[in-house]
Structure 1
Amino acid sequence: MPAASATPPRPEFSPGSRIAVLLPLPLAGPYDYRVGHESVAVGDFVRVPLGNREAVGVAWGPGDGDIPETRLRAITGRMEAAPPMPDALRALVDWVAAYTLAPPGAVLKMAMSVPAALEPVRGPLLCHLVEPQPDLRSSTARTQVLACAARLPPLTVTDLAREAGVGPGVVRGLIKAGALRIEESGLPPAIAEPDAAWPGPRLSPDQARAATALADSLDRGFSVTLLDGVTGSGKTEVYFEAVAATLAAGRQVLVLLPEIALSTQWLHRFASRFGCPPSEWHSELGDTRRRDTWRAVATGRAKVVVGARSALFLPFSDLGLIIVDEEHDGAFKQEDGVSYHARDMAVVRARLGAIPVVLASATPALETVANVQAGRYRKLVLPDRHAGAALPTIASVDLRRNPPPRGRWLGPDLVAALTETAAAGEQAMLYLNRRGYAPLTLCRVCGFRLRCPNCTAWLVEHRGAGRLICHHCGYAVRRPESCPECGSEEGFTACGPGVERVAEEAALLFPDLRQAVMTSDTCGGPAAAAALVGAMAEGRLDLLVGTQIVAKGYHFPRLTLVGVIDADLGLEGGDLRAAERTFQLLSQVAGRAGRAERPGRVLLQTWQPEHPVMRALVAGDRDGFMEREAEMRRAALMPPFGRLAALILSGPEPDPLDDFARRLGRAAPPAAGIDVLGPAPAPLALLRGRHRRRFLIKAERGVPLQAWLRDWLGRVAPTGGIRVQVDVDPTGFQ
């Protein structure tokens, strides 16, 4: 893979000339400024006056000339400490803004998410040993710290505490006592560099062929490859070979994972393969680490970054490869703010940079499959599990014929399977994609239901936390002692199961099993997730009960049974992707079973065993299911064979909102190939205290949808606190 070609010189503007500066604010476009006493080039980060304050933006190009020269304000100065924003990233900002109809400044804000990284570089604060203090109060912990400080080079407070096996408070106490002093190192924090030559595992013939094909694509400019492999086929090890080849060429790699904070095993596998961990980018990182990582990416010191969708907007200086793992996962879609799909934008970013992108999945999205069939993407297939492991057997359990006892959720077949698994000393997993104890609490006397005051949603009981919680806005309250409607003190009852209730039932039936619950509530960060995953992988748990996060690519060698409590959950509601999404999720959950030498089995408790999703899962007919799904979408001209966009209108009061929605609907310009559905109340008609109405726009492929939307939205301006959010290519309908 050749090194990147020389970057063409950036257009430079001399003092006194007009230049456009884009600010990270929800503005319609750049503002014009006058270049001050020093020249400024496109991509430079600059300080500019904005009203009565100063802001930081990016020099975007020549000014448009609308503002008289006499009114132009001068750029205050360049941010010398920050490398210029790369051309490909600026192009991505423009592209995403145009495609999503978001203000360019709102997109730029995602690329300038760490303002501190633009300030002058400061090295880490390191602890230096001071001459012995005769009056220093001694302790075992302090002695350990001082011994480490004398033996090792200067370290940060956190690192010194870790080396000494004490808490950071001990180190800080020694600093306060004068036994240690803090000094800035003057150098940026060291970044471990992955070793491309580090020996990897021996690949199977299928894996080796796929790895060679990926490596061969690295020197051919832009391409998209779907790495399609069954669960447990070793897709990660295959694309690691492409990572190694990219590193050997001296270029950077971006790996996108759906929820990087939960991907403990992936990080361990990377460190084993390349000798050190990658740089991480996700919302759980602290401010200092985000700042250091952003700088390391911009200067090229961070060679491999693994991150969530926002990592797409990092300023890579020489990006050579993008990998999107679990490309089908819904977590790659951002709903709030700028609505974009990270998988699709990763393809755009690769095209703008003329580099390859790899999409990996055992259950590819229908959009990806359609692109493969159209010849736009290449496909590499891994048909078998690695090391001879067999795919699990999947069976449906008809709850109409063999239901669980009244008030229970584990049917007799699943209980029997759990008993057999426990007797064999193997592990089991119970899956239900519903957090909490119960999704609804009602009064049996009068029928009153506890609902969120801010959203169109029931309050979910979280018995462990002693709270009723709204999963949409976070509102939480203790369960009232009596019914607010009828005053009954005995009438409240929990309706339906959540994972906490399933775990409670499992504990009653199998009191000797060591079990844990894995949800976004119990895994509040990487450390909690790592602890649970480690306990399961090391055999310190017998039963794991969890929501969809248990399907995130984990490898548990002793896990042989997966029980799905409610396989029908997610099939209802009119979502055009409901069947596809349910098939993908259940396939991924099922794929956790039998990944080593012990065979696995999966039981799907369902009230609809005849449903196409259940039939396809039991038969192992993924391709047949996707083909039938595609036929239905094609007949209805729905994505990926047609296009959708959604307008979500929200406001503080319903009547003005309805009036605006009607006026906007009447203003829709007629156009061939475009149908406007609505306005109608959104499924979540009240969210976070704001009333919501929705338009759905259905368009034929080839219709200039964005231009039509701009024309429409420019005809009626929202007033009275009403907001309009545009979602091009929506994946959900809330």
Structure 2
Amino acid sequence: ALLPVQVPAHLPPPRPGPELVHPSLSDDQRAAGAALSARIDAGYSATLLDGVTGSGKTEVYFEAVATALKAGRQVLVLLPEIALTPHWLERFEARFGCRPVEWHSELTPAQRRDSWRAIAEGKAALVVGARSALFLPFPDLGLIVVDEEHEPAFKQEEGVTYNARDMAVVRAHLGEIPIVLASATPSLETVANVEAGRYARLSLPDRFAGAALPMIQAIDMRIDKPQAGRWLSPPLIEAMRATLEAGEQIVLFLNRRGYAPLTLCGTCGHRLGCPNCTAWLVEHRLAGRLQCHQCGYTAKLPSACPSCESTDGFKAVGPGVERIAEEVLHTFPDARFALIASDTLAGPAAVGELLRSVREREVDILIGTQLVAKGHHFPMLTLVGVIDADLGLMGGDLRAAERTYQILHQVAGRAGRAEHPGRVLLQTYDPDHKVLKALVEGDRDRFLAAEAEDRRRAGMPPYGRLAGLIVSGADQRLVETIALRLGRAAPREDGVRVLGPAPAPFAILRGRHRQRLLLKAAKSVNVQAVMRHWLAQVEIPASIRVIVDIDPYSFL
């Protein structure tokens, strides 16, 4: 196991050894690594590294990293989640002999100061971090890598809104250096840039060492119904039993934190909501509290209903990962299970320790949210069960199908990554949905082409432009008034259409009332200029906040 080492602040960080280890690569990996390495010190280029899950994309871009380090240049690697850092650090240290400099929100002020100084002085050869690492003062940056480039986590929604992936491309272009965008499920925006000739593409079509891709099957929950009050279908339970008997490991995936998404009074049906937001409180039974996932408000479960004052108790409606863990304990009492979610583990170190225990086979069943889908390699993990494959398909998000495909494809990719074949079971009430059919048939490119055609016909990104306006304030009437004024002043030029104003889906967030307007424009329109002119037409009071979100990812 890797142990943290205290380094005095006055010592520079250790330099990675690009020649320390020469990894065993497949022919495809070697060719892709050589192609990326040839781009170092050759000016700006953008390359999509497109490889199936388990194809060894990290080892490929490590070849380019090694070339940049040998040339004395600095390297920045952006990861979408802080929780991914421990696993990535282990792989980097095994390849280069030392830990890189880290940059993320879990660092102490002293650590941030030391990292910032080492980067600014050019003593940090490689920096790995979250999206804010993009703005660090590198004096000699020679390569940028954006790992899992499709991840929505690269989009900052609060404060200054920006997409770190797109800003990384801008920084690479300004610095005349190469950038690598790596993913097994590239975003439609990146695919469109490849098709337009703005980005190159390097493909890794096969898993490393000849491992087979997992077999994916849909379980029709209308036919294979779980027991009342349960969430695991009979076919999934039987597959889990066979996997455990074979001494292999299981992942159960449900992208919903907590015990249940909704808590209501058993007498009158009153739903427990957040006092600061138009959102329901989520029960977190392990922590013994209710929590708002929008503002963080917490409360104890009340002894009586706030509406009818009944003391007959509350009902938990629907499953979260904690409820699935409870069912696993009931169904497989002898199995060793672990729960991984952003609110059950205290920081990257705890995530790293849990993942180590899974790799060392101290865990039989890993139950988790999207954290289980991200780049982990467990050789003995052969079964993935998706509790609710339909979950992400609900709502009006234009990227709902794309995102659901991406996360289900990624979590499916955890199965069968070594010599043991993998199997993925998707519990669904709509097995004929295009996303589910694409996953079962293994036809990613046809799905992407169909999704792209739908967007192109609708003039939606990446073939059109969107920009959001979020108007918020403590005074509901004033918020509505300003939103209406903005609606009346909306641009009327060709190729531009404004929708709204309308209450946001979360009409109150952190005590502030919210209205949304959405500008839809042709690809050729200078959206930033249109937005500047539009906002200049309306005087905004100091108590009102207007957030401009170019190319929004969230419509809440």
Tell me if both proteins adopt one fold, taking TM over 0.5 as the criterion. yes
Where do 1:556-571 residues align within 5 Å? Answer: 556-571=378-393
**What corresponds to 2:216 in structure 1?**
394
**What corresponds to 1:264 in structure 2?**
86
C-alpha deviation, 1:222, in angstroms: 0.4
Whether 2:519 is the aligned partner of 1:673: answer: no
Which runs of 5 or more structure 1 residues have no equivalent in the other structure?
A: 1-156, 161-184
**What corresponds to 1:251 in structure 2?**
73
Contact 1:263 1:552 in 2 (8 A): no
Where do 1:272-671 residues align within 5 Å? Answer: 272-671=94-493
C-alpha deviation, 1:490, in angstroms: 1.4
What TM-score, normalized by structure 1, do the two folds share? 0.74
Counterpart Cα distance in 2 of 1:264 and 1:662: 48
Contact 1:264 1:533 in 2 (8 A): no
Paired residues in the alignment total 553
C-alpha deviation, 1:188, in angstroms: 2.2
Contact 1:260 1:306 in 2 (8 A): no
Contact 1:460 1:471 in 2 (8 A): yes
What TM-score, normalized by structure 2, do the two folds share? 0.98
**What corresponds to 1:220 in structure 2?**
42
Distance 1:704 1:193, change over 3 A: same
Where do 1:117-266 residues align within 5 Å? Answer: 159=6, 188-266=10-88
Paired residue secondary structure (2:182)? strand
Matched residue type, 1:420: A
Which runs of 5 or more structure 2 residues have no equivalent in the other structure?
A: none
**What corresponds to 2:550 in structure 1?**
728
Q: CA offsets, 1:278-329, max 9 Å, x none?
A: 1111100111111000010001000000000000000001000000000000
Contact 1:437 1:497 in 2 (8 A): yes
C-alpha deviation, 1:489, in angstroms: 1.1
Contact 1:522 1:528 in 2 (8 A): no
State the identity %: 64
Matched residue type, 2:131: R
C-alpha deviation, 1:189, in angstroms: 2.7
Paired residue secondary structure (1:461)? strand
Contact 2:12 2:118 in 1 (8 A): no
Matched residue type, 1:542: D
Distance 1:720 1:250, change over 3 A: closer
C-alpha deviation, 1:656, in angstroms: 1.2
Contact 2:41 2:142 in 1 (8 A): no
Contact 2:303 2:313 in 1 (8 A): no
Matched residue type, 1:463: R
Counterpart Cα distance in 2 of 1:475 and 1:381: 45
Contact 1:261 1:284 in 2 (8 A): no
C-alpha deviation, 1:403, in angstroms: 1.2
**What corresponds to 2:540 in structure 1?**
718
Matched residue type, 2:41: D
Paired residue secondary structure (1:218)? coil
C-alpha deviation, 1:266, in angstroms: 1.2
In our comparison, the structure showing a higher alpha carbon Rg is: 1
Contact 1:262 1:525 in 2 (8 A): no
Q: CA offsets, 1:674-702, max 9 Å, x none?
A: 10000011111110000000000000011
Counterpart Cα distance in 1 of 2:103 and 2:66: 20
Counterpart Cα distance in 1 of 2:111 and 2:95: 24
C-alpha deviation, 1:524, in angstroms: 2.0
CA RMSD of aligned residues (A): 1.2
Q: CA offsets, 1:103-130, max 9 Å, x none?
A: xxxxxxxxxxxxxxxxxxxxxxxxxxxx
Matched residue type, 1:454: N
C-alpha deviation, 1:720, in angstroms: 5.5
Paired residue secondary structure (1:703)? coil
Matched residue type, 2:518: L
RCO comparison, higher one (Cα < 8 Å, 6+): 2
C-alpha deviation, 1:158, in angstroms: 8.2
Contact 1:189 1:292 in 2 (8 A): no
C-alpha deviation, 1:332, in angstroms: 0.4
Matched residue type, 1:418: M
Q: CA offsets, 1:587-632, max 9 Å, x none?
A: 0000000011101000000001000000000000100000000000
Moved more, 285-294 or 482-491: 482-491
Moved more, 668-677 or 643-652: 668-677
C-alpha deviation, 1:671, in angstroms: 1.1
